[in-house]
Amino acid sequence: MEGRRVFVLDTTAMLSAQFEPGPAEVVTVQEVVDEVLYGGLAPQRISTALSTQAIKLKRPSKSSLEKVRQTARETGDLPRLSKADLNLLAAAYDELVGGRDVVVVSDDYSLQNTALRLGLKVMGVGRNVVREVREWIYRCLVCGITYSTPLTRCVVCGGETDRVVKKT
C-alpha cells in the first residue's frame, strides 16, 4: 500500500512498544526478533505480536542491503552496525523505494545517522534523535594522522586512534 506510514523497529523499540493494530504498519526483521526472543527479554509479547500480525517481518533485498553497507561505509558507521541493524535499515530502505512513508525507530545513533543519509525518517525511543548526518574518520591521538577506515592503532606511529567527526 503506497502512502501508508511504516514504522521499522529495532530491538530497543521492540522492547518498548505496545503492539496494537492501527493505521500504521509496524515491521522488523528476523534478526531483531532473534535478539529479543533468544535474549529472553520479552518472548511471549513478541511472539503474540507476530502471530496476530501486529508486527510484520520483512526480508531485505540484496540490492538494498548493499546500498545500506555502502552508505554506512561512507558515513563511517559500518563498524558500529550489527547484522540486525544492517538488515533493518535495508528493509526500511526497501519500503522507502516502494513509495512508503518510513520511520526507523531506534535509540542507536549510528543506525539513525545511516538512516538519515539514506533519506529515511528517524524516531527515538528514550533518547534524542540525530539531527544532522555526520561522517566519521579515525584520528591518531599521538601524531594526528587521519584514516577513513577504522583502525585501533596508527600505522605510522602506533598510537591509539579515536573516532571523530569529519570536518567538511
DSSP state of 42: S
Class of domain 5-123: alpha beta
Q: pTM here?
A: 0.81
pLDDT band at 1 (very low <50, low <70, confident <90, very high): very low
Q: pLDDT, tens digit, for every residue of 78-131?
A: 988 999 999 999 999 999 999 999 999 999 999 999 999 999 999 998 777 777
Q: pLDDT, tens digit, for every residue of 9-68?
A: 998 888 887 666 667 899 999 999 988 877 666 677 788 888 888 899 999 999 999 999
Domain ranges across the chain:
5-123, 136-165
Q: Are 124 and 145 in contact (CB under 8 A)?
A: no
Rounded-to-integer distance, Cα 51 and Cα 67, Å:
31
Residue 143: HSE in the Cβ half-sphere, 13 Å Cα cutoff: 10
Residue 60: HSE in the Cβ half-sphere, 13 Å Cα cutoff: 28
Cell 543519509 belongs to: 117
